[in-house]
Amino acid sequence: MDSAQRRLKVLLVGTGALGSVYAWRLQASGKVEITAVCRSNYAAVQQNGFLIQSAAFGTHTYRPTKIISSISNATGEIYDYVIVCTKALPNLGDNSDIIAPAVSPSTTIVLIQNGVGIEEPFARRYPQNPLGSAVAYIDASQPEQGIINHGHISAMTLGTYPPHSEHSARLTALSEIWNQQGIPCTVVNNVQAFRWLKLVWNASFNTVAVVSGGNDTQEMLADQRCKALLRCIMLEVYRLGEAVLGEPLPVRNGVGDADAWIAETEGREVPVVPSMLMDFWAKRPMEHDVILGRPIAVARQLGIDVPHMESVYALLVMVEKQYL
């Protein structure tokens, strides 16, 4: 098999619902071999694979090319890509070191994670490796180990870190495969703008879902005071993100301001249960540092007041302390 026909070797780190769906579509192309690092769900996936029940793609059993229980078992292979889909929890430690056994000089690292500032530890540790950053839009959950429920949404925006890098062709190769397999994927010059754009929703709905006592989007928006709080947080993120970028945040799917985000979320037929609320219910660590903590630190550096974000962040950290 010549180089033009060789299948890309991809290591998937983080086999939750998001990572499993994106890896499945890559492998379905026939152009990619997936080695999946399954930790808590290793036994279930090793025995049965992933049962993916998708409104977009139908119901399938997905078996990665290879399933391993630890990255330490990933040695001996040269991976073209290492795709990281774990929770971004820098407040609990530097997770850039976990992929070290699998990173070779030719490996491209792709981070499909929430929040802002997630790339810096990886850029410091692997300065010679191409680094990609992805913003994912997906409605998927893993209610049981190895069981994935997926709706219709699975889009992604990709970009290099730092922006405008000469390594964008590495990301374009992945993007083309995802697009061919029904995952709308766009490579942009500056993905950080889209990170701040997604933060508008995450910093509001994700966090308030928890501190309001455990409410989905429909329940939050039905209360006018809660709805007003969500809008205030969104406005703060818009103001902060535009100050960081030096330009307006992008418009996505016609949504370009706080009121449009609220209307779009309010108009969904099925209410959204934010991922942070699911983490709270399962008593798992929440991504409050990259979704609120780091943006608040940036706001302080720039002298921008974000009182609603600060209040929700203080409450969120206290809530997590009760069970961690």
The angle at the Cα of 274, spanning 273 to 275, to the nearest 5 degrees, equals 115
What architecture is domain 8-189? 3-Layer(aba) Sandwich (3.40)
For the cut 60, the answer to whether the pLDDT of residue 37 exceeds it is yes
pLDDT of residue 167: 80
Q: Three-state DSSP class for 319?
A: helix
The per-residue pLDDT for range 121-153, each reduced to its tens digit, is: 999 999 999 999 999 999 898 889 999 999 999
Q: How far apart are CA 115 and CA 102, in angstroms?
A: 24
For the cut 60, the answer to whether the pLDDT of residue 35 exceeds it is yes
pLDDT of residue 3: 46
Residue 166 neighbours by CB under 8 Å, 6+ apart: none
Q: Is residue 83 a contact partner of residue 185, using CB atoms and an 8 Å limit?
A: no
Q: Is residue 300 a contact partner of residue 280, using CB atoms and an 8 Å limit?
A: no
pLDDT of residue 270: 85
Q: How do the residues of the chain divide into helix, strand and coil, expressed in percent and rounded to 5?
A: 45, 20, 35
pLDDT of residue 94: 87
Q: How confident is the model at residue 258 (pLDDT cuts 50, 70, 90)?
A: very high
pLDDT of residue 251: 95
Report which of 205, 218, 173 is spatially closest to residue 278, judged by C-alpha positions. Answer: 205
Average pLDDT score over residue span 254-270: 93
Q: Is residue 266 a contact partner of residue 221, using CB atoms and an 8 Å limit?
A: yes
Q: How far apart are CA 21 and CA 150, in angstroms?
A: 8
Residue 260 neighbours by CB under 8 Å, 6+ apart: 254
Q: How far apart are CA 23 and CA 42, in angstroms?
A: 16
Superfamily of domain 193-321: N-(1-d-carboxylethyl)-l-norvaline Dehydrogenase; domain 2 (1.10.1040.10)
Backbone angles phi, psi at 112, to 5 degrees: -110, 85
- Tell me the average pLDDT of the chain: 94
pLDDT of residue 269: 86
Q: How confident is the model at residue 54 (pLDDT cuts 50, 70, 90)?
A: very high
Q: How far apart are CA 256 and CA 193, in angstroms?
A: 12
Residue 241 neighbours by CB under 8 Å, 6+ apart: 193, 196, 197, 199, 200, 249
Same CATH fold, 193-321 and 8-189?
no
pLDDT of residue 102: 95
For the cut 90, the answer to whether the pLDDT of residue 322 exceeds it is yes
Task: Find how far residue 28's CA is from the centre of its chain.
Answer: 21
Report which of 174, 185, 186, 178 is spatially closest to residue 28, judged by C-alpha positions. Answer: 178
pLDDT of residue 2: 43
Backbone angles phi, psi at 319, to 5 degrees: -60, -45
Share of the chain above pLDDT 90, in %: 88
Average pLDDT score over residue span 199-216: 97
Average pLDDT score over residue span 143-170: 90
Beta-bridge partners for 158: 134, 187
Buried b (16+ CB within 10 A) or exposed e, 195-216: bbbbbbbbbbbbbbbbbbeebb
For the cut 70, the answer to whether the pLDDT of residue 83 exceeds it is yes
**Domain extents for the chain?**
8-189, 193-321
For the cut 80, the answer to whether the pLDDT of residue 1 exceeds it is no
Q: How far apart are CA 208 and CA 309, in angstroms?
A: 10
pLDDT of residue 95: 85
Report which of 291, 310, 298 is spatially closest to residue 240, judged by C-alpha positions. Answer: 298
pLDDT of residue 173: 95
The per-residue pLDDT for range 283-316, each reduced to its tens digit, is: 999 999 999 999 999 999 999 999 999 999 999 9
Q: Three-state DSSP class for 255?
A: strand
Name the amino acid, one letter, at 204: S
